Amino acid sequence: MTKAEEIIAAIQAALTAAGLTVRDDVAEVFSFEDGPRIVLDCGDEYPDPVVGMGFVYWNLSVMLLIGADGPVPKLAPEATRAAAHAALYADRTLGGVVIDLAVGPISRGIDEENPACGITQVTYNLKYRTMEGIA
């Protein structure tokens, strides 16, 4: 398992432990089913240009795509976003898997096919390290 896979698994475990439903497929965010839906999307990854005495320090972006229906669609995912944020910030090292995580941009929209469904994307920036030569 690569470090990125380990991080995604740790995020999924933290969200699931908080009682949130995490799905595997981005298309499920746009589904017409009831209830909030979260999909993890592993983003870009790049190394820090520092000399780490045998370590490589990495930056990884992970997006949470949250879909929820409600009378004010753009705000429908807010309760789920707040619960996910609290779950991730409860242990910003994800049990020692990362050095730290920080919230990044948040964007909100409405699903064109299901106008009652709000879609919120939250980006988290994670820093971790590996030994040189290990993915």
Residues 86-110: tens digit of each pLDDT: 999 999 999 999 999 999 999 999 9
CATH numbers and ranges of domains, the chain: 3-131 (3.30.2000.30)
What is the pLDDT confidence band of residue 116, given thresholds at 50, 70 and 90?
confident
Structure-model confidence comparison of residues 71 and 132, the more confident one:
71
% the chain with pLDDT above 90: 70
CA distance from start to end of the chain: 9
- 32 pLDDT exceeds 60? no
pLDDT, the chain, mean:
90
- 17 pLDDT exceeds 80? yes
Amino acid at site 7:
I
Chain segment 34-61, per-residue pLDDT in tens: 678 899 999 999 998 776 688 899 999 9
Nearest to 47 by CA among 37, 56, 34: 56
Output the pLDDT for position 111: 87
